[in-house]
Amino acid sequence: MRVILTGGGTGGHIYPALALAKQIKEHNPASQILYIGSKNGLEADIVQKAGIEFQAIEISGFRRKISFDNVKTIYRFLKAVSRSKRLISEFQADIVVGTGGYVCGPVVYAAHKMKIPTLIHEQNVIPGLTNKFLSRYATRIAVSFTGSAGYFPKRKVVVTGNPRATEVYNADGIRGRASLKVFPGRKIVLVVGGSRGAKAINQAFLNAVPYLEERKQLHFVYVTGDVHYKTVTERLKELETIPDNLSVYPFLYNMPEVLATTDLIINRAGASFLAEITSLGIPSILIPSPYVTNNHQEKNARWLEQNGAACVLLEHELDENTLLRAIDTLIGDNQSWMQMKEAAKKLGEPLAAEKVYNEMQALINK
């Protein structure tokens, strides 16, 4: 099997592709994989570090407002289609798979024009502009959420889940708990500030820290992200005492194992992250970032909330009081917590990478 993967701009587009690459190699170690992305995107670094062959095209996204820059974008798109055709031909691809971001537009379109099977994967509940454009050309459209299906041609859509879910589903939760050194019997609340853009979560949680000691039945694991770790630890030193049911880390290298032992999580609402927590059935308090394109995160979070799998707090609603109330409501009542856990599991697709791989195989053999 010779597969071209493409997608980029954010980790939410790149990591599902890498999870799929891993699945392909597990099924067929002799498979050849080429990743086409932007030389200026995150994928240029991440993909090559993963040991996958990488080729770059020059492309930019359309501006949502009328602009002369869009004329330049059309020119770059046509040029990128031409280069993509050359790369596809030289690689002799059996199939092209796009996971979102404007970089996959010319690659998937070029494959369509060359009559090569194509599959696009949509991670978010509300599709991005590129996948909406490609939906008329793609052979198959895989979606993470059933709520996405109505935005695409019905005959092309298959609900697979997000391949990232497969990465965490088989993680060892016992080893994860042991690594955290948590007292026996305490439920784990994981707070993920992230490496960037989580100032609101940091502020609210730091203000809540003095009240954590009252919640001895819980242990709070706070992952600040490298960027915020120094500031957070300096703030904590200003307190009279640091609760013994709080652990603070800049980063966790065994995050899948920690997720597998988590009872409640507080985080943003990126699509890959939601795939991971629903595959494990983790109840969540979601604080969507208001700074992402098309407000994707709030729409993702609301989908989980409507299905009883999460509680959503918008940034303007977030402070230590609303956060602590949400924690007490969700984990203080065991019945409510169990109901949310089951609801999250129903939305999860732990075998997502396998499902996407099977769709690819079917297209190639058609």
Q: Output phi, psi for 315, to 5 deg.
A: -55, -40
157 and 185, same domain (yes or no): no
By CB neighbour count within 10 A (0-12 exposed, 13-18 middle, 19+ buried), where does 296 fall? buried
| Domains: count for the chain | 2
Residue 292 binned pLDDT confidence (cut-offs 50, 70, 90): confident
The pLDDT score that the predictor gives to residue 197 is 53
At residue 64, does pLDDT exceed 60?
no
339 and 359, same domain (yes or no): no
The pLDDT score that the predictor gives to residue 195 is 58
Range of the domain at 240: 168-347
341 and 354, same domain (yes or no): no
CA distance 312 to 22: 33
145 and 66, same domain (yes or no): yes
The pLDDT score that the predictor gives to residue 188 is 97
CA distance 149 to 322: 34
281 and 318, same domain (yes or no): yes
| Mean pLDDT rounded to a whole number for the chain | 92
297 a known binding residue? yes
Provide mean pLDDT across the span 265-271. Answer: 93
The pLDDT score that the predictor gives to residue 65 is 56
Distances 146 to 77, 143, 257, 312, 347 between C-alpha atoms, Å: 31, 7, 27, 20, 9
134 and 101, same domain (yes or no): yes
195 a known binding residue? yes
The CATH number covering residue 105 comes to 3.40.50.2000
Q: What percent of the chain has pLDDT above 70?
A: 96
106 and 212, same domain (yes or no): no
229 and 119, same domain (yes or no): no
Helix ranges (DSSP H) in 248-295? 255-259, 271-280
293 a known binding residue? no
The pLDDT score that the predictor gives to residue 75 is 85
92 and 194, same domain (yes or no): no
Q: What angle do CA 237, 241, 244 make, to 5 degrees?
A: 105
185 and 277, same domain (yes or no): yes
136 and 260, same domain (yes or no): no
135 and 262, same domain (yes or no): no
